[in-house]
Amino acid sequence: MCTLTFIPHLKSTTDFILTSNRDESPNRKTIFPKLYFEEGMEMCYPKDELAGGTWIGASSRKRLVCLLNGGFEAHNRLKHYRKSRGLVVKELLAATDTFSFLEKTELNKIEPFTIVSVDWNKKLELHQLVWDGNEKQIKQISVSPQIWSASMLYSSETKKEREQLFLKFINEEREFDREDIMGFQKKFVIDRELVKTTSITQFVHSQKTSEMRYLDLQTGKTISTRMKF
């Protein structure tokens, strides 16, 4: 939930690869990704055992949602919040329309976050919601290679450095292979005193199928789940 890249296929209007590093306390337990049937539809996501939400998930709405900690800049955390941000991810996965949900959903007393949503119902669409604790900014983003870094862990200078590394990577590659992208993401694995990169989740969508691959960096175990949406 802290370093995210999106890379669309060069020759397809719907195919893409999205990869997310989760930087979190290694003591926070996660249930490996699997298929759930919720809100009348299929969803696939790794579940945060504590709050029941997730930082990344896909649904049969033909939508993928990923969350990063913080808004535009780092914030001071409150002792209590109304609900987990990870539950907002699940609500968006089930929503009928992405933009309408982002515009109308009430975020008061929810910790600041950034959400990136990818829709491929008819064509690829990329939306971003930034909630800073007081106001939200919603915008549609160009369907082109993108990188995000969470504001709670990374300064603006570090973000710029990462953007330059990503630009170099994009310019060096003509056809983007999932393994190459996974290797690039591993450059951003961190191991700090209280926070580590605990997992990397990669979602690959093609015209025929979708697959979520989850790499648990603490055990080295990889779980792959295929979906028909």
Per the CB < 8 A criterion, the answer to whether 199 and 22 are in contact is: yes
* Separation CA 36–CA 34 (nearest Å): 7
* Separation CA 208–CA 22 (nearest Å): 28
pLDDT given for residue 220 in this prediction? 96
- Dump strand ranges (E) for 52-169: 56-59, 63-69, 113-119, 125-131, 136-141, 146-149
Q: What is the mean pLDDT of residues 42-66?
A: 96
Whole-structure pTM over 0.75, yes or no? yes
- Dump strand ranges (E) for the chain: 3-8, 16-24, 30-38, 41-48, 56-59, 63-69, 113-119, 125-131, 136-141, 146-149, 196-205, 210-216, 222-227
Beta pairing, strands 41-48 & 56-59: antiparallel
55-96, pLDDT tens digit by residue?
Answer: 999 999 999 999 999 888 778 888 889 999 999 999 999 999
Name the β-bridge partners of 17. 7, 204
3-state SS, residue 87: helix
Q: How confident is the model at residue 9 (pLDDT cuts 50, 70, 90)?
A: confident
pLDDT given for residue 1 in this prediction? 58
Instruction: Tell me how crowded residue 68 is: count the other CB atoms within 10 A of its CB.
Output: 27
**Is residue 17 classed exposed, middle or buried when 0-12, 13-18 and 19+ CB atoms within 10 A define those classes?**
buried
Per the CB < 8 A criterion, the answer to whether 145 and 6 are in contact is: yes
Residues in the chain: 229
Instruction: Please report where in the chains the tokens 């960096």 appear, as a residue.
Output: 217
The overall average pLDDT reported for the chain is 93
Nearest to 10 by CA among 145, 130, 138, 113: 145
pLDDT given for residue 92 in this prediction? 98
Output the CA angle 72-123-66, nearest 5 degrees: 35
